[in-house]
Amino acid sequence: MTISRANGLDIYYETAGEGRPLVLIHPLPYDHNAWLYQVARYSAGFRTIAMDLRGMGRSAKPHTPFSLRDMGDDIIGILRDEGVTGDAVVLGCSVGSKIALMLACDHPDVFKAAILVGGNSGPQNQFDHRIKAYRAAAADGSLSDYHLGHLRYGVTQGWADSPIGRHLLAGFAERGRGAFDADSVAQIFGALTVSDLTPKLPSYRTPTLIVNGAHDSALKGGTLTASLIPQAEHRILPGAGHCCFLEDPAGFDAFVLDFLTRQGLWPN
């Protein structure tokens, strides 16, 4: 069990493989295990670094307000602990994609490329109902059921009801049982609500791939963000939802392989 305390909080993370650092930032309400397929595939040629964001998994769960920058600083702290100073690729989904874009904007010396799943760069003011629902579920004892329902929202319902979907989503829900913290998750949603990276995009030059599932609720935001980044590439994965990398890892990896190969970043 590896913990970084570089930014003042306990942040859990795992590494695998050797080579160019590949930083993996998970979506809500998942944990670092969301990247199980990518760790298995990419650790053969990359050094994967997958963390539990603050408020999630085995990381600290603060109740006081914090910003997306604070969450990004947690990740920079992990990289300092691991001796990573450059030549990295960052890959994130949902809140993880926004943090990945922020890191790539603010640390172009560290990140050679960014891969965003979802890709919404603007403020997101649609989370009040989630905050209220999580807190209500915690109060009435139904938090585990609500968490599972939210997990299902991140994928297509057909995949959620498949044997592999039921198995993986049950694992996320079980790991969250007794450890999932509604107030801390509310702080993450609050940070997302006010974060606006759009002013950073005109001067942003890092090679970027944005991937959406065809049934992704963030498809509109991903499409808009791709249009605001001149060098961005936008790919849509048929049949998949928000967490398309979990539903169709082979299709997702094909997009990533093509992108990173053309950028000279895929290991030979």
Report whether pLDDT(1) > 80. Answer: no
* 203-261 confidence digits (pLDDT tens): 999 999 999 999 999 999 999 999 999 889 999 999 999 999 999 999 999 999 999 99
pTM beyond 0.95: the answer is: yes
The reply to whether 132 falls in a domain is: no
- Amino acid, single-letter form, for residue 40: A
Please name the residues in contact with 16: beta carbons below 8 A apart, sequence gap of 6 or more: 39, 43, 47, 48
Is residue 134 a part of any domain in this protein? no
DSSP 14: E
Q: How many domains does the chain have?
A: 1
The answer, yes or no, to whether residue 124 has pLDDT greater than 80, is no
Assigned domain for 31 exists: yes
Q: Please indicate, yes or no, if residue 139 is contained in any of the structural domains.
A: no
137 in any annotated domain: no
Direct distance between the N- and C-terminal alpha carbons of the chain, in angstroms, rounded to an integer: 31
Predicted local distance difference test score (pLDDT) of residue 179: 82
Instruction: Give the integer Cα–Cα distance in Å for 248 and 237.
Output: 8
Structure confidence by residue, pLDDT tens digits, 112-122: 999 999 988 98
* Residues 143 and 186: beta-carbon distance below 8 Å: no
Domain annotation covers residue 170: no
Helix (H) or strand (E) holding 193: helix 182-194
Torsion of CA 101, 29, 126, 228, to 10 degrees: 20
Residue range(s) defining the domain that contains residue 18 = 2-123+196-262
pLDDT of residue 194: 87
Task: Give me the sheet containing 111-117, strands edge to edge.
Answer: 2-4, 11-16, 46-51, 20-25, 88-93, 111-117, 208-213, 232-237
| Alpha carbons 114 and 111: distance in angstroms, whole number | 7
* CATH assignment at residue 50: 3.40.50.1820
Answer whether residue 153 is part of any domain. Answer: no
Q: Tokens in use for 101?
A: 């874009």
Over the stretch 184-205, which tens digit does the pLDDT of each residue have?
Answer: 999 999 998 888 999 999 999 9
In sequence order, the 6+-apart residues with CB closer than 8 A to the CB of 32 are 12, 13, 14, 24, 26, 50, 51, 52, 57
Please indicate whether residue 191 or residue 1 has the higher confidence score (pLDDT).
191
Residue 152 lies in a domain: no
In this predicted structure, the answer to whether residue 5 has a pLDDT above a threshold of 90 is: yes
Q: Which of 87, 141, 75 is nearest to 113 (CA)?
A: 87
**Residues sharing a CB contact under 8 Å with residue 25, sequence separation 6 or more, in sequence order:** 51, 53, 75, 90, 91, 92, 93, 95, 96, 97, 99, 100
